[in-house]
Amino acid sequence: ETGVTQSPTHLIKTRGQQVTLRCSSQSGHNTVSWYQQALGQGPQFIFQYYREEENGRGNFPPRFSGLQFPNYSSELNVNALELDDSALYLCASSGVYEQYFGPGTRLTVT
């Protein structure tokens, strides 16, 4: 059984650019959630995908969007990057009771 994987591990972008982050869920899990973790804070829920449909969204603007594919892997897209988007982005896949997190992608916006 493979765990949750994310790519890339680190990324540096310039303000105004667009970025795509990727996540492969744990085998057998059809629900993927994305979280943003700013420095020194706890993770904040962005949105969740269940069977390729968005299933809940946190307090993030529409320039944060996502996709889930038939194999349940997922992408997080962020348009028009702002300096405050610099953070650790975490993907989680859901088992019956627990969420399991990937190692994260650290995004720096300059």
Partner 1 sequence: GIQVEQSPPDLILQEGANSTLRCNFSDSVNNLQWFHQNPWGQLINLFYIPSGTKQNGRLSATTVATERYSLLYISSSQTTDSGVYFCAVPSAGTASKLTFGTGTRLQVTL
- Which residues of the chain form contacts with partner 1 (CB under 8 A)? 31, 33, 35, 37, 41-45, 48, 55-56, 58, 88, 90, 92, 94, 97-101, 103-104, 106
CB of 67 to partner 1, least distance (A): 18
CB of 96 to partner 1, least distance (A): 10
Q: Which helix (H) or strand (E) holds 88?
A: strand 87-94
Q: Which one, 18 or 27, has the nearer CB to partner 1? A: 27
CB of 97 to partner 1, least distance (A): 5
Distances in whole angstroms, Cα of residue 32 to Cα of each of 9, 12, 23, 64, 79: 18, 24, 9, 15, 20
Query: 93 with 103: CB under 8 angstroms?
Result: no
Q: Which one, 44 or 73, has the nearer CB to partner 1? A: 44
Distance CA 91, CA 23 (A): 6
